[in-house]
Amino acid sequence: MSAGTKRLLVIGHDYLATSGAIEGRFAERGYEVESIRVVPSDRFDDPGVDVDFPDPRDYDAVLVLGARWGVDGDEVASWVKPELELLHTADEADVPVLGICFGGQMLAQAHGGSVGRSPVPEIGPHVVSGEPAVAGIWTQWHYDRFVPPADATVIGVNAAAPQAFVLRRNLAVQFHPEVDADSVAAWMADGGAADARDQGLDPDVLLDHIRSLDDDIRVRAAALADYFLDVVAVGR
């Protein structure tokens, strides 16, 4: 790990990826943030890019964000494999990793769990039960779900899917603590409105609901980042 200024590597996978209040809390805690985007905007229709990922051992923590593609998709195999190797390297070096949605699924896949189609897609705010750091209403947007590794500790669940697990210095969450109404509005404009309607949801009502939660979510997202840094990252 680095000496002096703490460094956070943020791995985003598409142009809609945002780290929002989670990244903000890392910055407040003294982290210098370095971000990479895996798939350029001109390759979204052909996302099988070759990526030279940074060495996670050069950082004090890694944040892996969501993605529009599935972990097992053939179209993204060119970069999913090296990203899984990055997660293995981070784990072996005790570099803490926080994975969100697709990022959480990647942690499951990397460490002996699995990812599969969820029988109940979750679009919009849904309740999560579990440890105080993850319990409450969070915005969701997923069709797949992870099966945690056998040696992981599940700390969050709901009826649709496992929602959070801890494994050594890794924290995986299925929900999106980093997003607010503005970021979801961008998702809506990029096909998300159709996703919502397919689930019988009114996009405008859904967005209003998410906006009503924004202030509370920002506070709880900061608390979740604190839990990651103060409990998971130090191996408590």
Q: How many CB atoms lie within 10 A of CB 219?
A: 10
Does the active-site annotation cover 101? yes
Alpha-carbon distance 44 to 21, whole Å? Answer: 26
Does the active-site annotation cover 142? no
Q: Which of 13, 111, 126, 176 is catalytic?
A: 176
Q: Which of 13, 83, 101, 111 is catalytic?
A: 101
Q: Which of 23, 83, 122, 178 is catalytic?
A: 178
In terms of Cα–Cα distance, which of 107, 165, 164 is closest to 140?
164
Ranges assigned E (strand) in the chain: 6-12, 31-37, 61-64, 97-100, 114-130, 136-147, 153-157, 162-167, 170-173
Q: Are 162 and 178 in contact (CB under 8 A)?
A: no
Does the active-site annotation cover 178? yes
Question: Could you list the active site residues?
Answer: 101, 176, 178
